[in-house]
Structure 1
């Protein structure tokens, strides 16, 4: 299983604009590990060592396996794995999707892509 590949991460601008995080999933197993189904709107875990706070606004450019399209989702940091996280967890943030039509479409695409892995007991990058 491979990890999602952060393409790049840009810092928040001095004007307080949301940080842009790019994330490309090469395979469905990596997507299943990064997907956060316990957020009712859906969300993804983004590996990063940059410091974030709960509630920080971020903009995620997401590429799903076997799909050439980039999906743009504005979200908020709702989970943090600090670099010193217990259990050798990957440092990063969980981004909660907003409850809008575009985000619902992305959530449905992710859940369709990972299918049975969604219901299976699986290790994730959050809990």
Structure 2
């Protein structure tokens, strides 16, 4: 299974990438590589101010091709499948004050 490292330097960027509308949560990954819906991946996510990356496995649930409308960056949405360390809960706690933000996200 391919591993993709994701380093979030600030909470605003994490909020733009987080996908709360997925049942178990998920993250948007900026990439020019081609993936297929349903493809299994492992993410190594480093949250802002964290010392270590947290692994989470997931599946590609979203594709944004290069040149998409609204100037959205190319990438994939990865739905969390196996979140043993509670990454979703940690992300939601970090971004709790930004959920009503009017800033655009990379997804909906």
The TM-score range, normalised by the shorter chain, is: over 0.9
3-state SS, counterpart of residue 97 of structure 1: strand
Instruction: Specify the SS of the correspondent of 1:122.
Output: coil
Q: Could you tell me whether the CA contact under 8 Å between 2:56 and 2:83 is conserved in 1?
A: no
Larger Cα-atom Rg:
1
Mapped pair 1:77 → 2:97: no
The equivalent position to 1:116 in structure 2, one of 74, 97, 104, is 97
CA distance in 2, matches of 1:67, 1:33: 18
Question: What per-residue deviation string (whole Å, max 9, x for no partner) do you get for residues 29-63 of structure 1?
Answer: 00000000000100000000000110000110000
C-alpha contact 2:4 2:42 (8 A) present in aligned 1 = yes
TM-score between both structures, scaled by the size of structure 1: 0.80
Residue equivalent to 1:8: none
Contact 2:60 2:76 in 1 (8 A): yes
Partner residue of 2:84 out of 94, 102, 114:
102
User: Quick one: higher RCO (CA 8 Å, sep 6+), 1 or 2?
Assistant: 2
Q: Deviations over 1:73-107 (max 9, x none)?
A: 11000001001211110000000001x4516x100
Q: Which runs of 5+ in 1 are unaligned?
A: 1-17
Unaligned runs of 5+ in 2: none
Q: Alignment length, in residue pairs? A: 108
SS at match of 1:53: coil
Deviation above 3 Å: which 4+ runs of structure 1?
119-122
Tell me the C-alpha RMSD between the 2 structures.
1.3
TM-score by length of 2: 0.93
